[in-house]
Structure 1
């Protein structure tokens, strides 16, 4: 039996590390953390006790082209406030799809990063 302690990291393929870094570092304000000297190009971010790893994949053949499809692969950040997150996304000019009364049991907001990876922001109802 495997005894899971939690999720360590999520890795996403990106076409351009410069464009991805501008989105994740400058718009979402995630904190970069040191990355080992792999034979690939990437950047790591701290997200609470977990990590987000971006890996440059210039060929792009592993990347999606469609818009927000919530049954497609995605990952979710848990945030404190649904309304504050919406306000920040609007301030940054990031289009989103909000579901404040989602049947999921919490409020949801979906966005696309520059490579069309789907990101979800979950928050308590009414926050």
Structure 2
């Protein structure tokens, strides 16, 4: 049997690295970390304090969905400390979101999209 230690990283395809970096740094507040010298552009970010990472990879082909936020579509989730403060921040930054404060999951959820329409769930303890 495989013994899991946790998720190491999630990789997302982006089309405009500088635009994506601005979103992940300025909106989500992620900290960029060192990335090996691959022969293609990208950026790596630390998430939280337990070694999880987000990897952005530039891809020249089709990268994203064409419709709006669909909470049942593929996504990754980041746990946030304060649901209300996160909503306030998203409003301040004029970021479209779908909020589900009373989710049957037992934790409050907020869904957003990055500039390439990758869906991100931000969730908080209820």
Q: TM class by shorter-chain length? A: over 0.9
CA RMSD in angstroms comes to: 0.9
Q: Which runs of 5+ in 2 are unaligned?
A: none
| Whole-angstrom CA distance in 2 between matches of 1:88 and 1:82 | 10
* Counterpart position of 2:111: 110
TM-score, normalised via structure 1 length = 0.93
* Counterpart position of 2:78: 77
- Go from structure 1 to structure 2 and tell me whether the alpha carbon gap of 1:70 and 1:46 turns closer, same or farther (over 3 Å shift): same
Deviations 1:66-88 (A, max 9, x none): 21111111000001111011011
* Counterpart position of 2:122: 121
Match runs of 1:1-127 below 5 Å: 1-48=1-48, 49-59=51-61, 61-125=62-126
| Whole-angstrom CA distance in 2 between matches of 1:90 and 1:58 | 31
Q: Which runs of 5+ in 1 are unaligned?
A: none
Return structure 1 stretches of 4+ with deviation > 2 angstroms.
Answer: none
